[in-house]
A and B are shown apart, each in its own frame.
Chain A
Amino acid sequence: QVQLVQSGSELKKPGASVKVSCKASGYTFTTYAINWVRQAPGQGLEWMGWISTNTGNPTYAQGFTGRFVFSLDTSVSTAYLQISSLKAEDTAVYYCARDTPITIFGVVIHDTFDMWGQGTMVTVSS
């Protein structure tokens, strides 16, 4: 069964770190990139960036640089999102989603996100 399965909910204190996992199954991990999308409580979808599962090269959207790190372990078909120095405003559901971006004349053009993980709720509270 083709799916992305994410790790469970997390409750963290401000200043702590969290690492969310996204495990792929049912397809060849390196044929799709992994995107990360944030959804704050009651809010819409916000693209955080993506990581190439071929090269491991991450790209971060504006507002998600510095404290956010995308990484991979291709041996277990898993992508990770690590957030450090957590703040209350990081409280959100974090989704991974796959696509197949292409590069044309050095410009990355993404594809539709055809599969999403179930989401991981990260709550930051003292």
Chain B
Amino acid sequence: DIVMTQSPDSLAVSLGERATINCKSSQSVLYSSNNKNYFSWYQQKAGQPPKLLLYWASIRESGVPDRFSGSGSGTDFTLTISSLQAEDVAVYYCQQYFSTPVTFGQGTRLEIK
């Protein structure tokens, strides 16, 4: 199984500042034949289901604000929120769908400092 490890486990950032969350996979999730990383980021607010933010590591889902961006390839990925807003308080999860079982990171809790 591919193990997804996020860092940090929790993060407190001031409003308007940058937030960065990392995710490392135990094996590459890059499919060489199409050069796509089978990797997503989700946001889960309290009492709500996860919401897709980014897929193929860096493609923003429709309707997601452009302050959210994703980068990385292979085994190391980063979610960046360029200017933190109050509504961004949530737990963020990374996910690989390169191989089964589909696996998620343990989550990173993002709070306002």
Contact = CB atoms under 8 A, between A and B. Distances in A.
A34 to B, nearest CB: 13
State the main secondary structure of chain B at its contact with A. loop
A44 interface: yes
Interface residues of B, number: 25
B97 A112 contact: yes
A61 B61 contact: no
A112 B50 CA distance: 12
Given A95-B49, A117-B49, A109 B104 contact: no
A84 B103 CA distance: 24
A59 B100 contact: yes
Interface string A10-32: 00000000000000000000000
Interface string B89-100: 000010101111
Contacts of B52: 112-115
B107 interface: yes
Nearest to B4: A44
A116 B31 CA distance: 25
B19 to A, nearest CB: 19
A76 interface: no
Interface of B: 31, 38, 40, 42, 48-52, 55-56, 61, 93, 95, 97-107
